[in-house]
Structure 1
Amino acid sequence: MGARGPLHLRKTTNVVLDALVQAVEQAGQGQPVSRAMLENVVAGLKVSVGFDDFYHRSYREMMEIVESEKREQRRSNAFGRLMLHPLSPLFQDESLDRTLVTNIFSFLHLVLGEEADVYGEKCKEIVGALRDDLGDHFSWDAFYDDPEAKIVLWHTLVQISGSFKRYDLRKDWFIKLMQYRPTTVSVASNAFITRDHDPSEEPLVFGEREFCLFFHALFDPLVDLPPKDDAAFRKEFGADPHHLIGGFLVNLSMCAV
């Protein structure tokens, strides 16, 4: 998390502390303040409706900061970019809802475990090296075409396919995961805030069709790799994609788009 969130929390807390000081001064009327009086003042502030608008406004501002920083993180998250790149056309034509991005990242972390962090660091290193080499000519397309980035992508896809050994059960689980709307928002590695439920909010649309679109977009490029990439894949894994993850590809081929 960046600096804006903690600064906003400090600002919010300072307003509450200032209100406490003012309330104590009014209650004491220039006399020494006893512990009992202080506790009464604090108890009154805890339930005061006078803070309702302030808390609602502070909450909205905090959520805006969180969402802004999440968008920035996605822009700078090289591994996330790598995995979302094949899905870009589906987001652009709205075949898939961009709101799914958070759930997609959750899926990757569930499947990869600690490897997700390893791949993240590797992608960051690749981007750093490319920026050093290309300078102002750096582009994300150069990253997507980088041989090492492709290997990270392939390893991720192989691990994903391996998680679908019980294909039908895993497919149902994945669809339910994509339909989930988070009720909390992460503001740090070990801190969360509750997300207000909007009763007018439409449920996330993700069913059989979206499942097929999603996985075909990720895996179809493996089915027909260019000769150079095919050679690199065989060198890395000791087999071509059809022999390595053929069972998953067969199941996916029966998934119409």
Structure 2
Amino acid sequence: MLTAEAGRSPEPLSVESIEALVRRFKENDSKESLARFHNYFDECMRQHEKDIWDEARKRPFDRLLVKRFSRLFPTKGEMDSGTAVISRRILPGFFLAVEMMAGKELFDQCQSACKGIVKAKKKQVGADFHWRIIYEDENARELVNDLFSVISSHFADFEKRAEWLRDLINSHLAPPENYAFEGEHVQGWSLGRDGTLALLRELFAPFEEMLADTEGRRHIEERYGLRACRTIEELVGNFKRET
């Protein structure tokens, strides 16, 4: 059985060792063995996702950023349906772009502040802690908004900056095997114009909602200033023109 062979290995499975196991497995491709293989594959994917989020706990602000657009990520196999526009492969380039536009000092400050929020919430709720508590926390949400209020100023030339973002992300895509569960098409996937616009629209969606409301607009003006409010409004206007 493939899982038994994998379990006997004293070292973590490499791509080469997995391929070797698969080749040996194919020599005994009974329905029962095939079912075991699929179960093992799903287990590996779940563990991979867990490892990613475990790493995110060390950088909780990264997790908050991703949560803002995570609904765009494909489910298992969805990349092959042709409906998915965003792959998790964007994450390395996305984080790099955010840090470059916001500046390392501000980005690190947000990271530190988010750790403080998480620590306080864990102390408050103890064993009942769940990341949903952080996602719904007003201070945590404002922290993300604060960062993107600064980033919005980089989009004065929207087309140029959107193209820069797309190119930067595509030059730092995560290896396709990291997200093979998204579908076979993840192999040759790259971020396109539609995906870039969808990503930006999700990142600035809270501002779009606030600008549509008198109290929300006032909140932006009071927190970031009239000039920043106009900059954000102009950026959001680009999304409407692109639809």
Which of the five TM-score ranges fits, normalised by the shorter chain? 0.5 to 0.7
Per-residue CA deviations over 1:183-217 (Å, capped at 9, x if unaligned) read 99xxxxxxxxxxxxxxx983432111101110111
Partner SS state of residue 245, structure 1: helix
Q: Aligned runs of 1:104-119 on 2, under 5 Å?
A: 104-114=94-104, 115-119=106-110
Q: Matched residues in 1 for 2:217 and 2:130: separation? A: 24
Greater helix share, 1 or 2? 2
Q: Which runs of 5+ in 2 are unaligned?
A: 1-15, 18-48, 76-83, 176-184
How far 1:236 sits from its partner (Å)?
A: 2.0
Partner SS state of residue 205, structure 1: coil
Per-residue CA deviations over 1:48-80 (Å, capped at 9, x if unaligned) read xxxxxxxx88xxxxxxxxx99665322442111
TM-score where L is the length of structure 2: 0.63
TM-score where L is the length of structure 1: 0.60
Q: Matched residues in 2 for 1:68 and 1:134: separation? A: 22
Question: 1:223/1:113 Cα in 2 relative to 1: closer, same or farther (>3 Å)?
Answer: same
2:134 corresponds, among 132, 137, 143, to 143
Find out whether 1:126 has 2:117 as its counterpart: yes
Partner SS state of residue 242, structure 2: coil
Question: 1:74/1:155 Cα in 2 relative to 1: closer, same or farther (>3 Å)?
Answer: same
In our comparison, the structure showing a higher alpha carbon Rg is 1
- The answer (yes or no) to whether the contact 2:73–2:86 under 8 Å persists in 1 is yes
2:73 corresponding residue in structure 1: 91
2:200 corresponding residue in structure 1: 215
The one of the two structures with greater contact order (alpha-carbon pairs below 8 A, sep at least 6) is 2
Question: 1:140/1:229 Cα in 2 relative to 1: closer, same or farther (>3 Å)?
Answer: farther
How far 1:179 sits from its partner (Å)?
A: 1.3
Per-residue CA deviations over 1:132-182 (Å, capped at 9, x if unaligned) read 111122222221222221221111111221111122211111111121246
1:100 corresponding residue in structure 2: 90
Aligned-pair identity in percent equals: 20
2:209 corresponds, among 224, 235, 241, to 224
Deviates more, 1:103-112 or 1:144-153: 144-153
Find out whether 1:171 has 2:162 as its counterpart: yes
Q: Aligned runs of 1:18-57 on 2, under 5 Å?
A: none
- The answer (yes or no) to whether the contact 2:110–2:143 under 8 Å persists in 1 is yes
Deviates more, 1:69-78 or 1:91-100: 69-78
Q: Matched residues in 1 for 2:133 and 2:114: separation? A: 12
Find out whether 1:81 has 2:68 as its counterpart: no
Q: Matched residues in 1 for 2:218 and 2:130: separation? A: 25
Partner SS state of residue 96, structure 1: coil
